[in-house]
Amino acid sequence: MRMPGNAEELVALRRLRMISILEGTTLLALVLVAVPLKHMAGLPVATKIMGPIHGLAFVAYVWMLMNNLAGSDWSRRERMQMMIAAMIPFGAFMNERMLARRQAMLTGAV
């Protein structure tokens, strides 16, 4: 059973928002915890563990972003902003705010 268009987009937006937060959080953990542990405490295993976890979260985030943008009515400017922010450190948090606004608009909460 297919959901109405708005319901499908809301589900996709919720998933993208979750992965956006996950990607940003793993980057924070990598930069603020694993890298200092590697360089200050001599524990290179921290980055060997956290690096691939963040890499996987980033790939999942970009994949979901591309899937969401491909089947939606985002403006060209919004699409470019979302893709560029995906390549900037902590840009996932900027995108998450934009996604939250769009989700609120779709649900009529604005």
What digits encode the pLDDT tens for the residues 2-21? 455 578 888 888 998 899 88
Higher pLDDT, 66 or 71: 66
Q: The dihedral of CA 60, 66, 70, 74: what is its sign?
A: positive
The pTM is what? 0.81
Average pLDDT over residues 79-90: 84
From residue 57, alpha-carbon distances to 3, 11, 88, 92 in Å are 27, 19, 15, 11
